[in-house]
């Protein structure tokens, strides 16, 4: 009987050891797509049907740089002092934007002309504003909803003490700060930085040539009341 007892004890020890190793592996796993930590997207605001699965895919992928794909702000301007009276709207674009320059002339033909600058129509401005108000400030994630197809823009507003002060994942080129986040930003009393990282998605996954692309940061402050 002694050999049997030894065999049973050995088996029990091996089982316990295996369970301990398995439990240890369990502790090392992370949540979400591609191993992204759930804490990395906690508190993000989702707009326009964006999903946390797409955001996790964006955060997992290595950032790329391309001047033609860089997201840069049209507002706020660098080192802008923002009025504290009401929340404002972040606006950005992707790639270079035509700049106004001095009128040009062609002395050979006696012609004088202005460079062409494309401006958004009143309809474009109004429709974007209406869409933004309809989709504003959805704090809950949209996991397992309709998969994201097309561009997604991740706006990150940070301060020296809070790297994730406000974060928004949207499918449009602007975002108006909601009232609770506006109060949080006014309380910072120091310069803040905003940046947009974006990618092109197909069914919640970043396309092979779809980024994500590193954005150009802008620093701004909210003036004292």
Alpha-carbon Rg for the chain, nearest whole angstrom, is 25
Name the residue range of residue 188's domain.
31-96+138-222
Could you tell me if residue 103 is inside a domain?
A: no
Could you tell me if residue 92 is inside a domain?
A: yes
φ, ψ at 30 (rounded to 5°): -120, 160
Could you tell me if residue 17 is inside a domain?
A: no
Tally of domains in the chain? 1
Length reported for the chain = 225
Could you tell me if residue 218 is inside a domain?
A: yes
Task: Determine the Cα–Cα distance for residues 69 and 65; give it in Å rounded to an integer.
Answer: 8
Query: How confident is the model over 107-132, as a mean pLDDT?
Result: 39
DSSP 146-202: SPP-EEEEEEEEE-SS-TTSEEEEESSSEEEPPHHHHHHHHTT-S-EEEEEEEEEEE
Could you tell me if residue 187 is inside a domain?
A: yes
The strand pairing partners of 202, in sequence order, are 205
Could you tell me if residue 4 is inside a domain?
A: no
Could you tell me if residue 12 is inside a domain?
A: no
Tell me, what CATH number does 142's domain have?
Answer: 2.60.40.10
Cα atoms found within 13 Å of the Cα of residue 198, Cβ hemisphere only? 27
Residue range 187-209, pLDDT digits in tens: 998 999 999 999 999 999 999 99
- Contact 83/225 with Cβ under 8 angstroms? no
Could you tell me if residue 21 is inside a domain?
A: no
Decide if pLDDT at 7 tops 60. no
Residue 10, SS3 per DSSP = helix
**Candidate from 50-64, 103-117, 159-173 with smallest mean pLDDT:** 103-117
Residue range 10-66, pLDDT digits in tens: 434 443 433 333 333 333 333 333 344 556 788 999 999 999 999 999 999 999 999
């Amino acid at each position: 009987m002694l050999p049997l007892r030894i065999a049973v004890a050995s088996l029990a020890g091996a089982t316990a050891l295996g369970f301990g190793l398995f439990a240890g592996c369990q502790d090392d796993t992370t949540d979400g797509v591609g191993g992204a930590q759930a804490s990395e997207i906690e508190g993000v605001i989702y707009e326009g049907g964006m999903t946390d699965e797409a955001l996790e895919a964006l955060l997992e992928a290595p950032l790329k740089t391309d001047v033609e794909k860089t997201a840069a702000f049209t507002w706020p301007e660098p080192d802008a002092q923002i009025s504290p009276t009401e929340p404002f709207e972040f606006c950005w674009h992707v790639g270079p934007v035509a700049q106004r320059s001095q009128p040009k002339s062609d002395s050979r033909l006696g012609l004088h002309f202005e460079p062409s600058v494309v401006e958004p129509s009143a309809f474009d401005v109004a429709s974007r504003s209406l869409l933004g108000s309809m989709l504003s400030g959805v704090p809950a994630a949209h996991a397992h909803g309709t998969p994201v197809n097309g561009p997604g823009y991740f706006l990150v507003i940070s301060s020296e003490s809070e790297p994730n002060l406000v974060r928004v994942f949207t499918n449009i080129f602007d975002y108006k700060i909601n009232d609770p986040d506006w109060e949080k930003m006014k309380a910072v009393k120091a310069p803040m930085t905003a940046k947009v990282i974006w990618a092109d998605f197909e069914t919640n996954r970043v396309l092979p040539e779809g980024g994500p692309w590193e954005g150009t940061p802008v620093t701004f402050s909210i003036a004292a009341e």
